């Protein structure tokens, strides 16, 4: 598909030299999208929207923030109290991180339910995991910047993990810290990277969308597009649907920002960092809790670290671990049940991570960790081979045509 018919002269002049308008036309206006996408497909654009909000609020926060251990905490309080709308910038950024992770997690689970990770979308899936990893690194470093008690001690605990690496572990930790404990050099470099990574995320997101547009979107039925009768142009159908989704989403997000801005947070982080006093319970932000639970489920330090990273690495192999030929869980009645069990398992892991590793939580954490890896490494490969799937419809548009013929 090429340039639109009613191009004005200026657009054509620019486009002949750098085809940005043709690119927009091709990928945002004409892009053939399956006609049957449901609202679970809104979360990709919602995540992209949140990336923009985070970068915008972050840049304006950075105008007033000072990355030095003696000034960081107070500079954030200055933003809250003295900078015009500073409290809004801060709460947008703080709650935006939670919303960013929420949209991305829903987006990932959508992919797992409908088989969007299967051929030919493996690279698309991998780029997604890279985005998720970059987000986690960015969020981890960002949380250190206000230099509260949780900032400091969370940084201490997580950077200390690398000492588990045999032989070179403690040298690596010293190198990461720039000193012999988390301190000013650490804070400064975390600020530098926290500013940098979102733009790396932006670039990877560009590749992610490019990969998507190369193989085209999946759909709730999980069957391939057979022809133009199965698709509709992205604009205006999905542009308006995405805008509606953004409207709904913004109401939820801004409800938290304006009325319960500290709900997702930890009160201890309103206490300035004190290297001499450890808080009674060191807890990461909620989106790290499942990984925190996996880490602590294993009594061995190195093995715990390995398991925690493996929990993400296993996702890279998902396209091959899931052996089923059928993409969408709509037609996989057994897999569907296990999908919901897996989701529940992740939530259980989150609850375990929020609590101290005592009592019932120890066993819960171990069972939930076991199940997590069992789901990927045993269940999926076996299920794909033995499951009796339901018959797939002929095409995307067949159910639609049938339905409208019944109406007529």
Which 308-347 residues touch other proteins, going by CB under 8 A? 347
Q: Out of 2, 8, 180, 247, which residue is the one contacting other proteins (CB under 8 A)?
A: 247
Do residues 186 and 179 lie in contact, with contact meaning Cβ atoms separated by under 8 Å?
yes
* Residue 16 is a binding residue for other proteins (CB under 8 A): no
Closest approach, Cβ 63 to other proteins, in A, equals 7
Catalytic status, residue 285: yes
**Which conformational region is residue 222 in: left (phi greater than 0), alpha (psi within -120 to 50 degrees), or beta?**
left
Stretch that binds other proteins, among 7-15, 16-24, 189-197, 260-268 (CB under 8 A): 260-268
Catalytic (active site) residue 241? yes
34 close to 107: Cβ distance less than 8 angstroms: no
Binding-site member from 164, 254, 302, 303 for other proteins (CB under 8 A):
254
Which lies closer to other proteins via its Cβ, residue 89 or residue 368? 89
Nearest Cα to Cα of residue 150 among 37, 274, 333: 274
Rounded Cα gap, residues 79 and 63, in angstroms = 10
The answer to whether the bond into 120 is cis (omega within 30° of 0) is yes
Q: Which of 20, 240, 312, 363 binds other proteins (CB under 8 A)?
A: 240
For other proteins, the closer of residues 90 and 208 by Cβ is 90
Count residues contacting other proteins (CB under 8 A)?
73
By the rule CB under 8 A, 399 interacts with other proteins: no
Site for other proteins contains 5 (CB under 8 A): no
First to last CA, the chain: 34
Site string for other proteins, 354-373 (x = CB under 8 A): xxx-----------------
> Can residue 229 be called a binding residue for other proteins (CB under 8 A)?
yes
Q: Closest CB to other proteins among 18 and 408?
A: 408
The reply on whether position 1 binds other proteins by CB under 8 A is no
| Minimum distance of other proteins from residue 306's CB (angstroms) | 26
- Rounded Cα–Cα distance for residues 97 and 263 (Å): 13
CB within 8 Å of 229: residues ≥ 6 apart: 395, 397
CA distance 27 to 32: 9
C-alpha to C-alpha distances, 236 to 7, 28, 31, 121, 243, nearest whole angstrom:
18, 10, 11, 25, 10
268 binds other proteins (CB under 8 A): yes
**Exactly one of 195, 202, 286, 339 binds other proteins (CB under 8 A); which one?**
286
> What gap in Å lies between CA 55 and CA 198, rounded to an integer?
7
**Binders of other proteins in range 85-104 (CB under 8 A):** 85-89, 91, 102
Distance CA 1, CA 84 (A): 48
Pick the catalytic residue from 118, 194, 241, 375. Answer: 241
Query: Does 224 sit near other proteins (CB under 8 A)?
Result: no
Instruction: Please give the residues from 21 up to 50 whose contact with other proteins meets the rule CB under 8 A.
Output: 35, 38-39
Q: Which of 71, 199, 255, 317 binds other proteins (CB under 8 A)?
A: 255
Q: Residues 334-353, buried b or exposed e (16+ Cβ, 10 A)?
A: ebeebbeebeebbebbbebb
Q: How many CA atoms lie within 13 A of 233 on its CB side?
A: 10
| Residue in 230, 285, 322, 345 annotated catalytic | 285
Residue 39 or 320 having the CB closest to other proteins? 39
Token couple for 344: 């529940």
The b/e string for 90-112 (b: 16+ C-beta within 10 A; e otherwise) is bbbbbbbbbbbbbbbbbbbbbbb
Q: Respond yes or no: is residue 213 known to be catalytic.
A: yes
Q: Is 224 tagged catalytic? A: no
Q: Please confirm, yes or no, whether 397 is among the known catalytic residues.
A: no
- Residue 214 found at the interface with other proteins (CB under 8 A): no
Q: Which residues have a catalytic role annotated?
A: 213, 217, 241-242, 285
């Amino acid at each position: 598909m090429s340039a639109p018919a009613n191009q004005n002269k200026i657009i054509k002049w620019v486009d002949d030299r750098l085809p940005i308008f043709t690119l927009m036309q091709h990928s945002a206006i004409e892009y053939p999208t399956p006609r049957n996408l449901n609202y679970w497909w809104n979360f990709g654009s919602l995540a992209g929207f949140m990336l923009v909000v985070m970068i915008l609020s972050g840049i304006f926060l950075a105008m007033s923030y000072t990355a030095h251990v003696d000034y960081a905490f107070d500079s954030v309080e200055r933003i809250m109290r003295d900078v015009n709308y500073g409290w809004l910038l801060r709460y947008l950024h703080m709650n935006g991180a939670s919303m960013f992770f929420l949209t991305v997690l829903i987006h990932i689970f959508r992919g797992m339910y409908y088989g969007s990770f299967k051929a030919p979308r493996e690279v698309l899936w991998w780029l997604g995991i890279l985005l998720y990893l970059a987000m986690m690194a960015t969020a981890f470093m960002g949380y250190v910047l206000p230099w509260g008690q949780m900032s400091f001690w969370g940084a201490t605990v997580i950077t200390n993990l690398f000492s588990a690496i045999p032989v070179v572990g403690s040298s690596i930790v010293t190198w990461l810290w720039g000193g012999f404990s988390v301190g000013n050099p650490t804070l400064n470099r975390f600020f530098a990277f926290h500013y940098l990574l979102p733009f790396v995320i932006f670039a990877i997101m560009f590749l992610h969308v490019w990969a998507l547009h190369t193989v085209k979107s999946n759909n709730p039925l999980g069957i391939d597009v057979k022809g133009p009768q199965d698709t509709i142009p992205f604009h205006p159908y999905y542009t308006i649907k995405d805008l509606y989704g953004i409207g709904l989403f913004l109401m939820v997000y801004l409800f938290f920002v304006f009325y319960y801005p500290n709900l997702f947070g930890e009160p201890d982080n309103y206490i300035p960092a004190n290297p001499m006093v450890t808080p009674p319970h060191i807890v990461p932000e909620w989106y790290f809790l499942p990984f925190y639970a996996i880490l602590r489920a294993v009594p061995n330090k190195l093995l715990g670290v390995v398991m925690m990273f493996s929990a993400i690495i296993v996702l890279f192999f998902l396209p091959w671990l899931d052996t089923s030929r059928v993409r969408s869980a709509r037609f996989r009645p057994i897999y569907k049940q296990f999908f919901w069990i897996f989701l529940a398992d992740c939530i259980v892991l989150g609850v375990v991570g929020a609590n101290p590793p005592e009592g019932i939580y120890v066993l819960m954490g171990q069972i939930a960790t076991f199940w997590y890896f069992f789901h990927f490494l045993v269940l999926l490969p076996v299920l794909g081979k033995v499951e009796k799937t339901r018959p797939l419809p002929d095409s995307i548009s067949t159910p639609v045509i049938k339905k409208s013929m019944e109406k007529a």
